[in-house]
Amino acid sequence: MPKGAKELLKKLEYDFENIEYLDIALTHSSFVNEHISKTNNVSNERFEFLGDAVLDLIIGEYFFRSDESLREGKLSKLRSEVVNEQSLAKVSNELKLGSFIKFGKGELKSGGNQRESILADALEALIGAIYLDSDLETITKIVLKLFENILKEAESKKNFTDYKSRLQENLQQYNKNVVEYVLDKEEGPDNNKLFYSSVKVDGEVVGCGSGKTKKKSEQIAAKRALLKLGEKNV
């Protein structure tokens, strides 16, 4: 078992049946390249391939189940906000994976244990290793816990800002494309203004809204338009 890995397993709340899987997940190819004489050294690249597919399914299914009204394009976008190098490296850092990975001397010298891409790949490899060692249900629970904050963040962005784009997507479905936002009026003093906007689709007003910024009033108008169009979970 890699040095200090006990702490890692405790954080993951997982015990490996095949502990060599953990070893492989934490072996960077630079280490294998420097030790080619020992033929049983295997790098984590194959596990990363597997883990990548496992992670895509877990996060994709999470958003799929989270909201029935989310269409395909939005699901892809939400997933890519969670499954990307930066987010993966962040989770990897929280687990301190960089300190457990076996590197070649050259790679370590050049700071490989802090490189985002390497940290992200190692997390995918670890996910692949746990999946291989257990099953989809087990790794799903672990992944959803590890990504809890990142998932929440992606969802809150979705809820907060997305009525306008959701309306646009929704209308494309009906082959209606000309969406126009009109600022109807502004009220109040400069430091406490209220904006009133309406949204027109093919020239017809389908929603009105007010808010403390122009953008907010448009969002509310889009939300009302979505309700009018019968979209659930608005």
Is 121 labeled as ligand-binding? Answer: yes
Q: Is position 231 annotated as part of the catalytic site?
A: no
**Interface with a copy of itself (CB under 8 A):** 29, 32-33, 36, 39, 45-46, 48-50, 53-54, 56-57, 60-61, 64, 70-72, 75-76, 135-136, 173-175, 230
Q: Which of 178, 179, 188 lies closest to 213 in space, CA to CA?
A: 188
Pick the catalytic residue from 23, 107, 124, 162: 124
Among residues 8 and 82, whose Cβ is nearest to a copy of itself?
Answer: 82
Nearest-approach distance from CB 2 to a copy of itself, in angstroms = 21
Among residues 62 and 181, whose Cβ is nearest to a copy of itself?
Answer: 62
Among residues 57 and 205, whose Cβ is nearest to a copy of itself?
Answer: 57
Residue 99 tokens, joined: 């300190």
Is 124 labeled as ligand-binding? Answer: yes
Reported in sequence order, the residue ranges of 13-127 that DSSP labels E, i.e. its strands, are: none
Task: Rounding to the nearest 10 degrees, give the CA dihedral for residues 204, 206, 209, 213.
Answer: -60
CB atoms within 10 A of CB 172: 13
Question: Tokens 């000309």 — which residue?
Answer: 178
Nearest-approach distance from CB 163 to a copy of itself, in angstroms = 19
Among residues 166 and 196, whose Cβ is nearest to a copy of itself?
Answer: 166
Is 186 labeled as ligand-binding? Answer: no
Pick the catalytic residue from 52, 81, 107, 218: 52
Q: Is position 52 annotated as part of the catalytic site?
A: yes
Do the Cβ atoms of 112 and 118 come closer than 8 Å?
yes
| Residues annotated within a binding site for Mg(2+) | 48, 121, 124
- What amino acid positions are annotated as catalytic residues? 52, 124
